[in-house]
Structure 1
Amino acid sequence: MSNIILGNKVKLYRNIDGKNFVNTMSDEELRENLEFLDPIIRGRGYENLDIEKMPSLKKLKLIEEGRFGKTFVDKKNIGFYQKDDEPDILINSSEHLELSKFSRTQSLDELYKEIYDLEGKLEEKINFAFSPEYGYLTSRVFNAGTGFKPIAFLYLPALNYFGINEIAKGLSRLGYTLGSYRDKSKKALASIYTLSFESSLTEEEGSYIEKLKLISEEIADVERENRKKLYLDNIISLEDMVNRSYGLLANARLLSEEEMMQSMSMINLGVELSILKPNREFDFYQEIMKLRNGHLQIERGSILDLRSRDILRANKSRSLMKEVFK
C-alpha cells in the first residue's frame, strides 16, 4: 500500500429471496429474519456481538473504526457478527445481509476473494434474491446488480490544499463518488477521502475492481504532482502549516478531536516531504485512531466529558510528539 492509498474496503449486499426489503419490514419480520440468519452465521464460527447490550463506548469505538454506522445501532432486531481475520457480517442494516472488510494491507482483489468465499458458503444455506435481468436485488437501485461495493481510502492533503471540488465533479461525471470525513463546516478532516462507485449495476465485479485501482493510481499521481507544486511554489506557507500543527500537538493542553486529526494530517505531509524528521515510523492514520474519542475513553475505562477528553488527548499528543520527533 502506498502512502497515498491508505487502505481498501469491500462491501457486499444480499437479500433473502421472497422477503420484503429491510426498509419495508415490520418488527416481527425483522426478528424472523434475524432468527433465521443467526444460526447459519454462528455455524460459520462467527461471534454475535449484542448491540443492544453493548456498552456505549464499545459502540463508539466500532463506529469510529467504520465497522457500522451511527444509524445502525439505533435500530431494533439487528445483528453484528465478527470473526478473527474474516469479513464482518451485519443483519438488517440497509439490506438483509451486509458483508464487509477493511484492510490497510490487503488489496481489493484479496478482499474480494475473501468476501465472495464467505458469500458462497452462506449461499449453501440461504437462497438470495436474484433476477436474471437485474442481478442481485437490493433496496437501493445503485447497489443492485452485483451488490458489490469496493472502496479505496486516499490521503490527499495537497489536492485538499489547492481545492478538490473540480476533481470530485469530474469523478462524479465518470460514475465515481469521492467522500470524506467532514466536520460541521463541511470541510474535509485529515485530508482522508473515500473513492467508490455510484452504482454497481451494469458490470462484473472484476471490472469495478480494475477501474477503481486504475483511477486511484491516477489520483495518486495527481496528488504527487500537487505536492511538488506545494513544496516548490509555496514552501514558506507549507513549512508554516506543518510547524504550526507540530506546535499545537506538542504543546496544547486542550486538544479537540478535529484539531488533532487536521494537525496529524499536516504533520504527516511534513514527514513525507522531509520537513520534519521522525525518530521512528510514524503511521498518522493509526495515531489518529488512537486519539479519537471512543479509543481514548475505552483505554481510560470510563465515559469522559468533552473537556476531560480534550485534556487527555492533549496529554497523549504531547507525549507522542516527544517520542516521535525528539
Structure 2
Amino acid sequence: MSLQRFVEHPWTHWMKGEGPDSDIVISTRLRIARNLRHHPFPLLATDSQAEEVVRKVEEVNQSASMKKKGQFELLRMEELQPLEKKVLVEKHLISPNLAEESRKGAVILSEDEAISVLINEEDHLRIQVFLPGFQLKEAWDIGSKIDDVFEKQLNYAFDEKRGYLTSCPTNVGTGIRSSIMLHLPALVMTQQINRILQATTQVGLVVRGLYGEGSEAVGNLFQLSNQVTLGMSEGDIITNLYSVASQIIVQEREAREYLREHNQISLEDRIYRSYGILTHARTIESKEAAQRLSDVRLGIDLGYFPTCNPFVVNELLVSTQPGFLQYDAGQKLTVDQRDERRARVIRERLISPSEIS
C-alpha cells in the first residue's frame, strides 16, 4: 500500500451503498478513545513524548496479532502535504483536528479503509470503524477486537471507578462514540426534523453534520451519536443508539410515503429538476451540489432512477469536496475554478448511460 492508494480515489468502504437500511443509513461509525498510562495527553506532550507514543503504536501495528486482522499502513501527518491531509479528512479517514493541529500525529489505515487508528489526536489512540448501512453491532465487534490487540500490548490509562481515562471528560468511561449517518430528506421536507432532533437530546444523543462536531448538516445528512460514555456499558450505548435510530428510520420511511401519496407531482418535480441541474450546470457551489445530490439520492431510493447505484451519489459526496477537487486537479484552485470543476465532475458521473438512463 502507499499514500496514493488512499488519496487518489474518492471511493472508500462506507460508500458502497449496501448494508441494512442503506436507503436511509449511509454509514455506521464506531470510535474508541484510549490513552497510554504514564504518558501525557497529546495536548500536553512534547514532540519527543508524542513520538514515543507513535513508536509504541507502530510496534503493535507490526505485530503478528495485528497482521492477523489485515493489512495496515501507518502515515505520519508531518510527512503529508496539506491537500493530502484534506482529502483524508473528506473521506472521513482522519479528523480535521489531527490534520490541522497535531504536531506528531499519525494514522494507521486498513487496506479497505474500513478501519483507521488516529494517533496523537485529542487522545493517544482513536480506533475508528466505518461500515456501510446500519451495522452498529458489527462495527462494535470489529472495533473491540482491534482494541483488544492494542490493549494486550500497551498499558492503557484506566481507573477502576471512572473507566478509561481520556483527554476530554465527556469521553471518560467506556471511551466509545458510535454514530449513524442518516439521509433524512423527507423529514426535512415535511418539517418534522426539528421536533425529532430535539427529542434525541432527551435520551442522551446528539446530532451533528456530515463531518461531526462543529459541522453543518448539509444535503439532509445528519450524524446521530451517543453523548454519554460514563455510567453506561458499551452494550447499553449501542442498544440505545440502535433503538432511537431505528425509530427515526421508520419515521423517514413514513414521511417519504406521505410525500408520494399527497405531494407526488411536487416531489417528482423537485427530484427531476435537481437531476436536470446537476447534469447540465456548468458551475455549482458545494452547498447547492449537496442539496441537489440529496434530491437525486432520494429519487434513486424511491425508484425513479432504477439503473443508478446509490454508490454514485455517495462517491460524489467526497469527489466534489474542495480538497479532493484540488488534489485531483494537481493544483490549488480558486472558488470559481472549484465550482466549475465540481459541476463537470458531477455531469460526467451522472450522465453515464451505465448509471442513469
TM-score (norm 2): 0.83
CA distance in 2, matches of 1:187, 1:196: 15
3-state SS, counterpart of residue 67 of structure 1: coil
1:278 Cα deviation (Å)?
A: 4.0
Selected match of 2:92 from 55, 66, 69: 66
Selected match of 2:131 from 88, 100, 103: 103
Q: Which residue number in structure 2 is paired with residue 81 of structure 1?
A: 108
Structure 2 residue 310 is matched with structure 1 residue 279:
no
Over 3 Å counting, the alpha-carbon distance change for 1:273 and 1:115 in structure 2 is: closer
CA distance in 2, matches of 1:290, 1:144: 36
3-state SS, counterpart of residue 94 of structure 2: coil
Q: Which residue number in structure 2 is paired with residue 174 of structure 1?
A: 203
Q: Which residue number in structure 1 is paired with residue 294 of structure 2?
A: 265
Selected match of 1:90 from 118, 122, 131: 118
Over 3 Å counting, the alpha-carbon distance change for 1:196 and 1:106 in structure 2 is: closer
Over 3 Å counting, the alpha-carbon distance change for 1:222 and 1:242 in structure 2 is: same
CA distance in 1, matches of 2:117, 2:148: 14
CA distance in 1, matches of 2:272, 2:115: 40
1:106 Cα deviation (Å)?
A: 7.5
Selected match of 1:30 from 25, 36, 50: 50
Over 3 Å counting, the alpha-carbon distance change for 1:19 and 1:102 in structure 2 is: same
CA distance in 2, matches of 1:66, 1:225: 30
Identity %: 27
Q: Which runs of 5+ in 2 are unaligned?
A: 1-19
Report the more deviating stretch, 6-15 or 35-44.
Answer: 35-44
Report the more deviating stretch, 83-92 or 9-18.
Answer: 83-92
Q: Which residue number in structure 2 is paired with residue 118 of structure 1?
A: 146
Letter of the structure 2 residue corresponding to residue 254 of structure 1? T
CA distance in 1, matches of 2:35, 2:76: 22
Tell me if the contact between 2:25 and 2:133 (Cα under 8 Å) persists in the aligned partners: no
Selected match of 1:227 from 241, 256, 265: 256
Letter of the structure 1 residue corresponding to residue 158 of structure 2? F
Report the more deviating stretch, 292-301 or 95-104.
Answer: 292-301
Over 3 Å counting, the alpha-carbon distance change for 1:105 and 1:173 in structure 2 is: closer
3-state SS, counterpart of residue 224 of structure 2: strand
Letter of the structure 1 residue corresponding to residue 93 of structure 2? R
Over 3 Å counting, the alpha-carbon distance change for 1:114 and 1:321 in structure 2 is: closer
CA distance in 2, matches of 1:317, 1:127: 48
1:280 Cα deviation (Å)?
A: 3.4
Letter of the structure 2 residue corresponding to residue 29 of structure 1? Q
Structure 2 residue 40 is matched with structure 1 residue 20:
yes
Q: Deviations over 1:66-111 (max 9, x none)?
A: 1122221222011211232462111111111111111115822222
1:10 Cα deviation (Å)?
A: 0.7
CA distance in 2, matches of 1:176, 1:106: 17
3-state SS, counterpart of residue 145 of structure 1: coil
Over 3 Å counting, the alpha-carbon distance change for 1:20 and 1:277 in structure 2 is: closer
Selected match of 1:194 from 200, 223, 241: 223
Q: Which residue number in structure 1 is paired with residue 183 of structure 2?
A: 155
Q: Deviations over 1:205-229 (max 9, x none)?
A: 1222222222111100011111122
Q: Which residue number in structure 2 is paired with residue 51 of structure 1?
A: 77
Selected match of 1:242 from 271, 291, 302: 271
Q: Which residue number in structure 1 is paired with residue 13 of structure 2?
A: none
1:65 Cα deviation (Å)?
A: 1.1
TM-score (norm 1): 0.90
Tell me if the contact between 1:42 and 1:48 (Cα under 8 Å) persists in the aligned partners: no
CA distance in 1, matches of 2:251, 2:133: 22
Tell me if the contact between 2:77 and 2:85 (Cα under 8 Å) persists in the aligned partners: yes
Selected match of 2:283 from 251, 254, 257: 254
